[in-house]
Amino acid sequence: MKHNNLLITAAATAALAMMSAGALAQETITFGASAPKTGPLAGGSSVTHWPAIALWVNDVNARGGIDVGGTRMMVEVIEYDDATSNENAIRNIQRLATVDEVDFLIAPYGTGINLATAPIIAQYGYPHLAVTAVTDGVDTFAERWPNSFWTLGTSAETASSAADVLADLRDRGEIGNRVALVNVADAFGIELANAGKPALEAAGFEIVYEASYPPTTQDFAPIISAAAAVDPDAFVAFSYPGDTFGLTGQATIADLDVGAFYTGVATAFPGYLGANGAAAQGVLGIGGVNLNDPGMVDYIAHHEEVTGATPDYWANPVVYSTLQVMEQAITRVGSLDRAAVIEEIRDGTFDTVMGEWTFDGNIIRDYYTVGQWQDGKRLNWL
């Protein structure tokens, strides 16, 4: 009898342990994140992507987690490095969905990687809030993958805004009509160049130099030298972080004499000012935030306090905003039902550090496209 009682007690203890483990599991929401920690885009994701995620997790857990049907659930993130590879990103997301069985996914980093992974994210039924993707296909993609949401704009609008700013400078007599146009040869740069060239020509500019270069390019002296040889009035680069720094540094060394200098991703990074000093003054670049908004000023200060780094003045707060959207949608649904969360994101209105967001056909259509360094601050233009 004593032996049997011990068996019953052990069985009961095991059952209680299993119940406790189940209860503990339900008190945590797991998010999966795959993005570059190595490779050509690692520099950009280390400023824009990973710190915004870390800040959001800190903020959510500091206030006791996400309210899910009246239960506070803490957040944890399983992270993988895709090494700036579409193939790795696809494998990582498949692992997160099938092996780690995460509750939700955080969108990858970069236009090409978001497009490459969109089908598999849709296949597994996760909300896909694509932040760092600028593409003209957003309406088509939102229809093809109704779980996907797009927040950073289109290539055509981004390129036409750059052309508008240059046209304004020309009309004020600050630059002439001759433009050198270069781009990184991936989805992001190619789309922007394909949209930018006709936008510039429609605005009355003459393209006097064109070049496309691989994402792995490190020596930009030949490009800057060839551009300088045709005496342009403006230099436009639809570039990724490494080339943004490389092109700007080489232009400074070569003393490229242009009235307007525009570069792509990373122009909005605080490190851009640190690397280029006075040479950054007046430089135009993709994206921006409203530094006159007290909420944005508070966000930047909070980011610095928690992460020890200043966020970029473009996409970092957008990454944070998409996570706020996810959090608010989960709370409103009151469960981890991904289909219901997708529906709430599609139809709801959300309070974010970028302001009030409502998706129009799964797309945020209001955003800044051009910024400029003025007096040591990155200010939005359009």
For residue 228, pLDDT beyond 70: yes
Neighbours of 192 (CB within 10 A): 30
On average, the pLDDT of the chain sits at: 92
pLDDT at 50: 98
pTM listed for this prediction: 0.88
Structure token digits, residue 106: 């955080």
Residue 235's contacts (CB-CB under 8 Å, 6 or more residues apart) are: 179, 180, 182, 227, 251, 256, 258, 260, 261, 262
Reported as a pLDDT band with limits 50, 70 and 90, residue 381 is: low
Does the pLDDT of residue 17 top 80, yes or no?
no
pLDDT in tens, 18-76: 444 444 344 899 999 999 999 999 999 999 999 999 999 999 999 999 999 999 999 99
So what's the pLDDT on residue 11?
36
CA 246 vs CA 48, 120, 217, 263, 266: distances in Å: 19, 34, 9, 11, 11
Read off the pLDDT of residues 174-189 as tens digits, 9 standing for 90 and up.
Answer: 999 999 999 999 999 9
pLDDT of residue 195 exceeding 90, the answer is yes
Q: Mind giving me the DSSP string for 62-89?
A: HTTSEEETTEEEEEEEEEEE-TT-HHHH
pLDDT tens by residue, 77-132: 999 999 999 999 999 999 999 999 999 999 999 999 999 999 999 999 999 999 99
Mean pLDDT of 318-344: 98
